[in-house]
Amino acid sequence: MEGTVITPARGFMAEHGHYHDDDGFWEAHADRLGGPVCDVGAAAGRITLRVAARGHDVWAVDTDPEMLEVLRERAAGAGIADRVHGVRGSMTGPLPVRGAGLVMIPMNSLQLMRSGEDRRACFAAARDALRPGGEMIFDLAMPHFPVIGDLIGVLLDTGHSVDPDTRDLLMHQAVFERVNPACGEADMRIIIERIHADGTRTRVERPHHLHLYEPDEIPALASDAGLEVVCCRAGFRDEPLVPDAERHVWRLRRPDA
């Protein structure tokens, strides 16, 4: 029997179930800064639900209505529907909240902004949503273009997880297909192979066209948007930034005045 087809939105939470690097990070900053919180690129609410469970009102913004439908279902199931506000919108448009303590853009989502115009619009939208003293926080993969260049076409094992709803085993892989260090762009595919309980398998491949940021790109974007750089770290546990870091994690602040 052919395995059940799981839509991207229905499978999203399970497909990210192997990722625990940022556990507790977003919740801690929401607690520190206070709400309301805006989760930009929220998808099915991997972070939104965690932050709302801490008692914060969260405005979850995503372009995909099915993702937002799943988010609302999960919020209702967790008893926090009154604190979760799913809104269809883009990363570049005005955000649906003002006076936010935190605008968060988790899971490298800023890398989807390939044009300079979109990047500037995204930072400006975050700034307008924040109250004075509020922060825009996001994480990005460190580019390491020479390493990526050597990995073009190589199938990378990126972990596995179990879907808690279906008990299917999910095998995660990724492959880089193109990289252009001159403009900071890379094309890659994310591959999820789902092994169903009856032994059948289904496979999903999703292309991603990315801008990989060098750390020195961020201060200018922050300044143009009227934001101050608070700090840049190499991880979610306040690790110092070093050249061989896997990621750079930024805190930007809207000035008090």
Q: Model pTM?
A: 0.93
pLDDT at residue 197, rounded to an integer:
85
98-135 burial code (b ≥16 CB/10 A, e <16): eebbbbbbbbbbbbebeeeebbbbbbbbbbbbbeeebb
pLDDT at residue 8, rounded to an integer:
76
- Cα distance between residue 231 and residue 27, in whole Å: 18
Note the pLDDT tens digit of each residue in 19-46. 889 999 999 999 999 999 999 999 999 9
Nearest to residue 112, comparing CAs of 121, 103, 124, 102? Answer: 121
pLDDT at residue 2, rounded to an integer:
43
pLDDT at residue 126, rounded to an integer:
98
pLDDT at residue 5, rounded to an integer:
59
Between 3.10.180.10, 1.20.1560.10, 2.30.110.10, 3.40.50.150, what CATH number should domain 8-142+213-253 receive? Answer: 3.40.50.150
List % helix, strand, coil for the chain (3-state, nearest 5).
30, 35, 40
Pairing assessment for the beta strands 228-233 and 201-211 based on DSSP bridges: unpaired
Nearest to residue 102, comparing CAs of 43, 47, 45, 21? Answer: 47
pLDDT at residue 257, rounded to an integer:
67
- Cα distance between residue 241 and residue 232, in whole Å: 7
- Cα distance between residue 13 and residue 7, in whole Å: 11
pLDDT at residue 75, rounded to an integer:
97
pLDDT at residue 18, rounded to an integer:
72
pLDDT at residue 20, rounded to an integer:
84
Note the pLDDT tens digit of each residue in 207-234. 999 999 999 999 999 999 999 999 999 9
Stated as kind and residue range, the H or E segment containing 37 is: strand 37-40
- Cα distance between residue 130 and residue 253, in whole Å: 9
Contact between 109 and 41 under an 8 Å Cβ cutoff? The reply is yes
Contact between 108 and 141 under an 8 Å Cβ cutoff? The reply is yes
Residues of the chain with pLDDT under 70: 1-5, 257
Nearest to residue 145, comparing CAs of 208, 212, 216? Answer: 212
pLDDT at residue 1, rounded to an integer:
34
